[in-house]
């Protein structure tokens, strides 16, 4: 099975798994837009060419947010992809704040592939928090999210200079935009 075929298979698999789910922004965009965007960011901005990493980007929220088991991913996409997705899966039985703290704590210890996906994930989510935030989020909460994202990314420096530079520019623009909206 070639890489291109597996990439398409992952897009189709994730689209089916995320059926009916929407992003939290007021445009209620289909959820699948986000994992696809993460993969595009890795390819376009990060110049990532490793198919397993791009496939893991597309699948990164399936175990956490849909009825998908690790076995299913292992069988269809192999051990490496499955390993990345598991590294990127929060333990939903834990309280939300603890999950946030654990992401900061665990980020430096992730594999390089998982770090790349997490960098793309933070870029995608902070772009949304800036331009299309979840319904009902105050300015303070949006700024808190950006600050938390910076802490997670701080533990993954030295992974991909293109992504990290893009992230830094995004943060500067986000703060600028949010400080203007405060005025
Ligand atoms: P989350 O941090 O879980 O919500 C953000 C997550 O939702 C993102 O990481 C992203 O995850 C997903 N998402 C879906 N749609 C969007 C979108 N449009 N923009 C950005 N992200 C999106 O929020 P919680 O509700 O879980 O709250 C977490 C923390 O916030 C808690 O620790 C709590 O203490 C704190 N909090 C702060 C408040 C305040 O006013 N300051 C109020 C309430 C809570 P994915 O990549 O998985 O899709
Ligand atoms: Zn995500």
Alpha carbons within 13 angstroms on the beta-carbon side of residue 69 total 3
Query: DSSP 3-state assignment of 25?
Result: strand
pLDDT truncated to tens, each residue of the chain (183 aa)?
589 999 999 999 999 999 999 999 989 999 999 999 999 999 999 999 999 999 999 999 999 999 999 999 999 999 999 999 999 999 999 999 999 999 999 999 999 999 999 999 999 999 999 999 999 999 999 999 999 999 999 999 999 999 999 999 999 999 999 998 864
Name the catalytic one among 50, 64, 144, 150.
64
Quick check: CB of 138 below 6 Å from ligand 1? yes
Query: DSSP 3-state assignment of 30?
Result: strand
Query: In whole angstroms, what is the distance from residue 145 CA to residue 114 CA?
Result: 20
Alpha carbons within 13 angstroms on the beta-carbon side of residue 146 total 27
**pTM (2 decimals)?**
0.96
For residue 173, is it left (φ>0), alpha (ψ between -120 and 50) or beta?
Answer: alpha
Q: Which two tokens stand for residue 115?
A: 């770090």
Q: Is 87 a catalytic residue?
A: no
- CATH class, domain 3-182, is mainly alpha
Length of the chain: 183
Nearest CA to ligand 1 atom 40: 141
Q: Is 121 a catalytic residue?
A: no
């Amino acid at each position: 099975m070639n890489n291109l075929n597996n990439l398409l298979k992952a897009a189709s698999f994730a689209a089916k798994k995320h059926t009916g789910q929407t992003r939290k922004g007021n445009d209620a965009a289909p959820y699948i837009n986000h994992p696809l965007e993460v993969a595009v960011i890795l390819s376009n901005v990060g110049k990532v060419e490793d198919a397993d990493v791009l496939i893991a980007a597309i699948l990164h929220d399936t175990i956490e947010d849909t009825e998908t088991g690790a076995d299913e991913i292992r069988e269809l996409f192999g051990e490496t992809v499955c390993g990345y997705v598991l590294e990127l899966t929060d333990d939903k039985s834990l309280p939300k704040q603890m999950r946030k703290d654990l992401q900061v704590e665990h980020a430096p210890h992730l594999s390089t592939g998982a770090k790349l996906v997490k960098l793309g994930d933070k870029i995608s989510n902070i772009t949304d928090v800036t331009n299309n935030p979840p319904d009902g989020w105050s300015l303070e909460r949006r700024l808190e999210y950006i600050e938390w994202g910076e802490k997670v990314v701080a533990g993954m420096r030295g992974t991909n200079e293109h992504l990290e530079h893009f992230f830094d520019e995004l943060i500067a623009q986000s703060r600028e935009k949010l400080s203007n909206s405060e005025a």
